[in-house]
Amino acid sequence: MILPIVRRDIGEGSLGAGLHPVIDRIYRGRNIQLLDELDTGLKGLAHYNGLKGIQEAANIVADAIEQDKSVTIVGDFDADGATSTAVCMLALQQMGASSVNFLVPNRFDFGYGLSVPIVDIAHQQGSQVIITVDNGIACIDGVEHAKSLGIQVVVTDHHLPGETLPNADAIVNPNQPGCSFTSKNIAGVGVAFYLMLAIKAELSSRGWFTNQQIAPPNLADLLDIVAVGTVADVVTLDKNNRILVHQGLQRIRSGRCRPGIQAIVDVAGRDGAHLTSTDLGFVVGPRLNAAGRLDDMALGIACLMENNVLQARMMASELDSLNRERRDIEAGMKAQAEQTLKAIELNEGDIPSALVVYQEDFHQGVIGIVAGRLKEKYLRPVIAFAHQDDEVIKGSARSIPGVHIRDVLDEVNTKYPEIIDKFGGHAMAAGLSIPVSKLDAFSQAFTKVAEQHLAKLDGQQVILSDGPLSHEDIGLPFARILRQSGPFGQGFDAPLFDGVFSIVQQRIVGEKHLKMVLRDDSGKEVDAIAFNVDLDVWPNNHANQVTLAYRLDINVFRGQESVQFIVEQITPNA
């Protein structure tokens, strides 16, 4: 679907002397009003004491460390959950916890979060304290079961709570009622990191490190892991999240990151010194996610925690293999899903307000990715369902800007009770389970409610551009400035430019990527690549000139840098 390209309206003004005029334009287009908002130093981080319940949580865990209680981290099977678990494990070990382990539910056997069966496993292993990371706020039954067994529970989460909160000993979640923490967009790994900061401060106040002759850990050394989880979970990059991501990226670029992260970057064929926040989301995150999607997220967590470089490389290679397998499965599922949609004879004029797809042989582990791909193609909220058992199907939802998918599901649940078994999530992504017998009823209800939310959006969807680049700016000097001007991500969009170019060369590389040499009106030539093009349209020998929406990137090949366009949309000119 070709979208109109609309240039951001930034008005007159400037953020201050010294900024490149295009960078100034980019920042003002993202509602930056003061240069202070761009400060990514650690001193700008919001303090942990702004999180409701964090001191109670720190006291419980500090007591457990002092009393040598068995502590179990219960994580989630995505990259945010894996990084959250790794951060807690590493931090608690460095703080002298002698009995700490983790459990991550296998999605195929246990489903999501602190379930009753997972609590039973923790109890059998002798757990006395459970800390949930990236889950727990909706785990009412699991928390209650743990409490009945005499296990203390600390919930750390960032997902939106329901009407009832779990009966935990402490809850740390910026989105719980009464919490005044300024960064409501923080990822699960960020919440976990903040708890570790609070625990370190509490132990320090008790003289723990002095008494045990332990050097207090520098928890900032874990920010590379925090950055990966933050970007991979596609949370909005407000100022606080930008600081976390920037600080983590700096550690990766300087070679001071965890061996596991370096190994993942290496097996992906990337240069850590040139890594961007986008790479964290498209290179590191998917390889961690692949473990939880197809196998056991314990492998991803172990890779993040591994200190031995060779062992980390072996684990990263296994994650890379799982990711290739995941891509193959996803490609097959995506083709099935698109065939399902073709059967409805969709075209741009009659695409429904929301899409619901289900195939019995869909793989639970990749339905979220399939939903995301279909969302990108049709620009609608999408839910992809997979078989869970003979009675229940499990869905993964992805949404578009302006349509809060968890709110949509909440409204469906309110207006049409007894259709949804359970659901949870946030603005852009959610998960749910429904009886397979109610799929048609759910599809109709979901589409109807989504239609009402879409109607509230202002006009048609467009591609927002930061405008054109002059031929002087299409070069390495500006590309390097641009790379250092981030981090960019969800809610703080990576710079996107537009322009008209002549095609000098065009060919397909890989399976469906269009490699081009383009020429601007000054005669300057530049390489460009458009991923996953429609092979029925491209290569197009009749297209001598094209209109592009593109990102300016630096391509590194055999140690040599060159400018390259990453094409987001390409339209042949008449």
Q: What is the CATH number of the domain that holds 141?
A: 3.90.1640.30
Q: Are residues 310 and 376 in the same domain?
A: no
8-state DSSP, 388: -
> Nearest-CA neighbor of 356 among 462, 447, 258?
447
Q: What tens digit of pLDDT does each residue of 371-381 get?
A: 888 888 888 89
> Does residue 332 lie in a domain region?
no
Q: Are residues 535 and 502 in the same domain?
A: yes
Supply φ then ψ for residue 501, to 5 degrees.
-135, 155
Range of the domain at 384: 344-455
Lowest mean pLDDT among 267-281, 412-426, 450-464, 517-531: 450-464
Please report the pLDDT score of residue 169 as a whole number.
Answer: 98
Q: Are residues 83 and 159 in the same domain?
A: yes
> Does residue 338 lie in a domain region?
no
Q: Are residues 180 and 266 in the same domain?
A: yes
Instruction: Report residue 347's pLDDT band, with 50, 70 and 90 as the boundaries.
Output: low
> Does residue 325 lie in a domain region?
no
Cα distance between residue 175 and residue 179, in whole Å: 7
Cα distance between residue 298 and residue 311, in whole Å: 15
Cα distance between residue 238 and residue 46, in whole Å: 11
Whole-angstrom CA distances from 274 to 36, 184, 526, 553, 561 are 25, 30, 20, 11, 10
The number of domains in the chain is 3
Q: Are residues 233 and 151 in the same domain?
A: yes
Please report the pLDDT score of residue 137 as a whole number.
Answer: 93
> Does residue 336 lie in a domain region?
no
Q: Are residues 508 and 562 in the same domain?
A: yes
Examine the fold and report which residue of 455, 476, 504 is the final residue of a domain before the chain moves on. 455
Rg for the chain, CA atoms, rounded: 24
> Does residue 280 lie in a domain region?
yes
Instruction: Report residue 460's pLDDT band, with 50, 70 and 90 as the boundaries.
Output: low
Cα distance between residue 546 and residue 535, in whole Å: 16
Backbone torsion region of residue 122, taken as left when φ is above 0, otherwise alpha when ψ lies between -120 and 50, otherwise beta: alpha
Please report the pLDDT score of residue 461 as a whole number.
Answer: 77
Q: What is the value of pTM for the model shown?
A: 0.86
Q: What tens digit of pLDDT does each residue of 220-247 get?
A: 999 999 999 999 988 889 999 999 999 9
User: Which residues face 554 on adjacent strands?
Assistant: 563
Instruction: Report residue 318's pLDDT band, with 50, 70 and 90 as the boundaries.
Output: very high
Q: Are residues 31 and 49 in the same domain?
A: no
Q: Are residues 313 and 421 in the same domain?
A: no
> Does residue 111 lie in a domain region?
yes
Q: What percent of the chain has pLDDT over 90?
A: 66
Backbone torsion region of residue 532, taken as left when φ is above 0, otherwise alpha when ψ lies between -120 and 50, otherwise beta: left
Backbone torsion region of residue 9, taken as left when φ is above 0, otherwise alpha when ψ lies between -120 and 50, otherwise beta: beta
Q: Are residues 187 and 268 in the same domain?
A: yes
> Does residue 337 lie in a domain region?
no
Cα distance between residue 7 and residue 467, in whole Å: 6
Q: Are residues 126 and 248 in the same domain?
A: yes
Examine the fold and report which residue of 409, 435, 455 is the final residue of a domain before the chain moves on. 455
Enumerate residues 6+ apart whose C-beta is below 8 A from 71. 61, 64, 65, 92, 97, 99, 100, 101, 127, 128, 129, 130, 131
Examine the fold and report which residue of 455, 489, 513 is the final residue of a domain before the chain moves on. 455
Instruction: Report residue 349's pLDDT band, with 50, 70 and 90 as the boundaries.
Output: low
> Does residue 430 lie in a domain region?
yes
CATH number at residue 425: 3.10.310.30
Cα distance between residue 487 and residue 474, in whole Å: 20
Q: Are residues 561 and 509 in the same domain?
A: yes
- Supply the mean pLDDT for the chain: 91
CATH number at residue 562: 2.40.50.460
Buried b (16+ CB within 10 A) or exposed e, 219-237: beebbbbbbbbbbbbbbbb
Q: Are residues 113 and 19 in the same domain?
A: no
Cis before 572? omega within 30:
no
8-state DSSP, 492: B
